[in-house]
Amino acid sequence: MRADLAESHRRSLAHVGAVGAHFTAEQRLRIATVARDAYLEADPSPPWARLFDEPALDVAYRLARHAGTITEQWYEQIISEGMHPLEWVEIVGIVIATVPVVAFARAAGLPSPGFPAPGSGAPHGRVAHELAPATLNWVPVAAPADQTASVVQALSALPDEWDNLWQLAGAQYMSDAQMADPLWNRGTLSRPQMELTAGRISRIRECFF
């Protein structure tokens, strides 16, 4: 395993175990644990099952295991039940900080890394300076909206989650800037081999985007 990738994954799990904008570190680790277990579960529950008495954990489960089944209607339903849209964004940030670390270990045949001890303190409430509704995402984003690609602005409402997403992408795949060069590659795979691998897993996951 490359040293930069190992460090990126270590940072991501440390991020999961730290206090977030809306959730305590203990809450974040519960969400991450549900996401990890859902991803690895041999016999998963169906997408529509609400297995937990906390909506945050239901969202984590479905996103980790059945992401392609999530609809705007279900997002609106969860929000109408009382979840704040930025709590939803933070859950997405926690799940995507956890799943790739677990997925890499499983794919490479390595033991799944453990979570760190939780940090202490109350949620810090740090959000983007100004928020705006987006037409390219369901969730609110940092203003001005829709000036960049939807996946780029997706977590921009919560700077800590956005930073972690892109530090992971930079180590696992490539940065935004490197993406602009169709021949850029890292390591042993050529760029077309990287894109074949990326395209096939995205197709299997039935990701519209």
Partner 1 sequence: MLSWSSNEAGTPADLAAIAEGAGDGGLPFGAELVAFADAVGGFDDLVLGSARERLRAAAGDEFLADAAAVLANFEMMTRVADGTGARFPAETAPHRTTLDHRLDIGRFTSSR
Site string for partner 1, 78-97 (x = CB under 8 A): ----------xx-xx--xx-
Per the CB < 8 A criterion, the answer to whether 52 and 154 are in contact is no
Rounded to whole angstroms, how far apart are CA atoms 86 and 66? 21
109 is a contact residue toward partner 1 (CB under 8 A):
yes
Site string for partner 1, 16-45 (x = CB under 8 A): -----------------------x--x---
Q: Is the peptide bond before 100 cis (omega within 30 degrees of 0)?
A: no
Least Cα distance to 140 among 152, 149, 151, 153 occurs for 153
Which one among 7, 50, 69, 144 touches partner 1, defined by CB under 8 A? Answer: 69
Burial class (CB in 10 A: 0-12, 13-18, 19+), 74: middle
Which one among 75, 119, 159, 163 touches partner 1, defined by CB under 8 A? Answer: 75
Please choose, out of 13-21, 23-31, 120-128, 180-188, the segment that lies near partner 1 by the rule CB under 8 A.
180-188
Provide the minimum distance between the beta carbon of 2 and partner 1 in the complex, in angstroms, as a whole number: 7
